[in-house]
A and B are shown apart, each in its own frame.
Chain A
């Protein structure tokens, strides 16, 4: 009709639709989307070389909101060297050769210092052609990402009292994802009061990768001694968290203390050899809630999502208004039975504090065997 750009009708339409749209402020859904994206298929394996090469290509500054963090300790050179690209980059800080350690003479590749070293750019540039196999390569730092952090949670109805399983929460971090995830796991209290960590007191040094192994080096490992079963799951807590942050479920995790391997973890787990990921069926909670998160404020229409490995795929749930005691109870089905697969269901809740519980029932006697719960606030 009227193609005049200054037509007051066009102006009115534009102004009104934008005004209407601006009233809508959706809440953050990235953790949920990520969780669902990963639940629908195995996480895409992330080749580090690719991300490191990306930083090397000089796009770091241009990525704006998604910038790689800094030049001082970015790993561009190493990624480049491994990728065989001839690009010369200036931002470097990573030692081109294993850093001599004051603590040990062991040739572990995991001794990247926490402080950015002062190696000159030319030195590392010339080292590009060196064999990369002997060097631990830290992850690329990112401005913002979401990482899974695993915790221990009691398995209810288990035959043995001390049976624990891994539960997952999501955390927004900036920096090196795996390092940040381990720091949260070792120093923070999980938001869900049902979860805990036996890694408190451990002090992380670095997470580096070389030659098909991810090395997690601690300044100090936890000193507690645990019973063997608990210790095994606790070790897997680290494996799952590191691998989750790296998007790589296959590369084994070598645990070292001040660069040295071999200390018994929790007095039980041998760390002479790298730790491989245990079968999910052995250590992962058979049902958990990915979303909403503990203490999340939500609208009345709540989509609850998670992962379950349930007999005949049946996931039971109950929602209780903590003030009025109003309770809803029903069940849903996961996509597949007897193996880990996503489930979701919707609730319409009245405003107030609610607790949502999901649980699995024993096929034999109908007792509750596994559970997870979240307290949320409905606006």
Chain B
């Protein structure tokens, strides 16, 4: 993804002696933006994604003594963000049933202009997916995570990751071909 992440990968191996503040600053610098983006893709609501990621960082700082390792810290953050986004989405679904309303990030006019037609179609198509399938797709194509990493992050089996991915791909292909 971003350049800082590369530098970061090279250096974190030595840093088990970081204290919580140093770890926070380092991990924040390397991963804050991409975690917010991950959350925003899952939720389509940047403001909420920022809150969720900030909460996750605060929690990470609090448990640094147990994590002690920037790699673990990143895995912890990713899991925390994905979990919180998922429960937020489930909550939204419940709310939506009772009060029909637009989804949070209903793109504003200028955003819609900035987005290419192609991306627009993909993002629209993603909206139709069930929550688990969408999460798998975002982690796979934006997070570049392996099946095993996705399984760990979501707390599901690799087999489930495979089948969610397969079903999601099938629906998306159909939708996208229709629209061409």
Q: Does B146 contact A (CB under 8 A)?
A: no
The binding surface of chain A is classed by DSSP as: helix
* Chain B residue contacts of A66, Cβ below 8 A: 11, 22, 25-26, 29
Whether A65 and B119, one on each chain, are in contact in the complex, defined by CB atoms closer than 8 angstroms, is no
* Chain B residue contacts of A32, Cβ below 8 A: 54
B19, B29, B172 pick with most chain A CB within 10 angstroms:
B19
Whether A64 and B7, one on each chain, are in contact in the complex, defined by CB atoms closer than 8 angstroms, is yes
Whether B22 and A41, one on each chain, are in contact in the complex, defined by CB atoms closer than 8 angstroms, is no
* Chain B residue contacts of A64, Cβ below 8 A: 4, 7-8, 10-11
Whether B25 and A145, one on each chain, are in contact in the complex, defined by CB atoms closer than 8 angstroms, is yes
Q: Does A30 contact B (CB under 8 A)?
A: yes
* Set B58, B115, B172: member contacting A37, Cβ < 8 A: B58
Interface of chain A residues 1 through 51 with chain B (CB within 8 A): 1-2, 9-10, 12-26, 29-30, 32-34, 36-37, 40-41, 43-44, 46-47, 50-51
* Chain A residue contacts of B119, Cβ below 8 A: 15-16, 19-20
Complex alpha-carbon distance, A65 and B25, angstroms: 10
Interface of chain B residues 38 through 65 with chain A (CB within 8 A): 38, 40-41, 46-47, 49-51, 53-54, 57-58, 61-62, 64-65
Check A20/B123 contact, CB under 8 A, given A9-B173, A64-B11, A66-B26.
yes
Complex alpha-carbon distance, A140 and B54, angstroms: 27
Complex alpha-carbon distance, A34 and B57, angstroms: 9
* Chain B residue contacts of A62, Cβ below 8 A: 10-11, 14
Q: Does B103 contact A (CB under 8 A)?
A: no
Q: Does B122 contact A (CB under 8 A)?
A: yes
* Set A9, A24, A41, A142: member contacting B37, Cβ < 8 A: A24
Whether A17 and B41, one on each chain, are in contact in the complex, defined by CB atoms closer than 8 angstroms, is yes
Whether B25 and A144, one on each chain, are in contact in the complex, defined by CB atoms closer than 8 angstroms, is yes
Whether A30 and B40, one on each chain, are in contact in the complex, defined by CB atoms closer than 8 angstroms, is no
Tell me the nearest residue of chain A to B37, going by C-beta: A21
Instruction: Give min CB distance, B10 to chain A, whole Å.
Output: 6
* Chain B residue contacts of A87, Cβ below 8 A: none
Complex alpha-carbon distance, A203 and B29, angstroms: 32
Instruction: Give min CB distance, A135 to chain B, whole Å.
Output: 22
* Set A10, A30, A47, A57: member contacting B14, Cβ < 8 A: A57
A residues contacting B by CB (< 8 A) are 1-2, 9-10, 12-26, 29-30, 32-34, 36-37, 40-41, 43-44, 46-47, 50-51, 53-54, 57, 59, 62-66, 142, 144-146, 247, 299, 301, 303
Q: Can you list 25 pairs linking A and B with CB atoms under 8 Å apart? A: A2-B169, A9-B172, A12-B122, A15-B119, A17-B142, A21-B40, A21-B41, A22-B37, A26-B32, A30-B24, A30-B29, A30-B32, A37-B58, A40-B58, A41-B62, A44-B20, A44-B21, A46-B19, A51-B22, A59-B15, A144-B25, A144-B29, A146-B25, A301-B47, A303-B51
Q: A34-B61, A57-B14 are in contact. List 5 more A-B contacts (CB 8 A).
A: A19-B119, A21-B142, A26-B50, A30-B29, A33-B58
